[in-house]
Amino acid sequence: MIGGRDDLYLPGTRGELEDLARTLASGLIVMSNKARDSVSRTLKLARPESVDFLLLGFHLLDRTIFQIFGENGRNLFTDELLREVYRNFTCDTSNSEAQEVGRSLIERVNATQAEFSRYREIFPKEDTARVATHVLYDSARGKSDYLILEFVKNCFSTEELWLAGLNDQRPLLLLTEAMGYYTAVHNLLRNLLSEKS
């Protein structure tokens, strides 16, 4: 259950689940752009781009929708979510540009879904600050099991993280932004489901 609430409306029909996906697509795009603007303005980082946040949000929703609706519901939801994102990205483009955007979007979604699916946890549930510091700043550790920590690590080169040590707070600040984004994605879904109940 999202946020421990039992009184959430759960779409019962294909059309309702598709409507939920279309509504969430617009919110996901807006939140991804806001997260990117915040990172750019506050941390002066070139990465992650809006599309990186969008792909993270897509995966977070994918995991949550699977838990609620199972495999069939997830497939229906993510297909419609991706179609709506595509429509938003290509509404003012030519057919040839739209086809290229579509191919690129599908390639990026497939690649990030494969990558993100390898992480068993979204973030450490206990002793988050200590674990995050060790994972982000200790280059000898390799990959962790935490999606958001690896998302943040991938925005910096190994050399940047090694040279930064604990003097450069940008990785921790980006982690804060990414965890805030995670919370915003879940709140958006919870709020949309709560509106219907």
DSSP state, residue 46:
-
Residue 3 near residue 61, CB atoms below 8 Å? no
Amino acid identity of residue 120, one-letter, is R
pLDDT by residue for the chain (197 residues), tens digit each?
A: 344 434 445 666 788 889 999 999 999 999 999 999 988 888 777 788 999 999 999 999 999 999 988 899 999 999 999 999 999 999 998 999 999 999 999 999 999 999 999 999 999 988 888 888 888 877 666 788 999 999 998 888 777 776 666 567 788 888 889 999 999 999 999 888 887 65
For the chain, what are the domain ranges?
A: 13-196
Alpha carbon of 139 to those of 59, 65, 118, 146, 161: distances in Å?
25, 33, 19, 15, 7
Neighbour-count burial for 153-191, b at 16+ CB within 10 Å, e otherwise: bebbeeeebeeeeeeeebbbbbbebbbebbebbbebbbe
124 prior amide bond cis, ω within 30: no
Map tokens 């750019």 to a residue: 40
Global pTM value = 0.86
8-state DSSP, 92 = T
**Is residue 20 within 8 Å of residue 195, measured between CB atoms?**
no
The answer to whether residues 135 and 147 touch, using CB atoms and an 8 Å cutoff, is: no
- The predicted structure's pLDDT at residue 195: 77
pLDDT at 76: 92
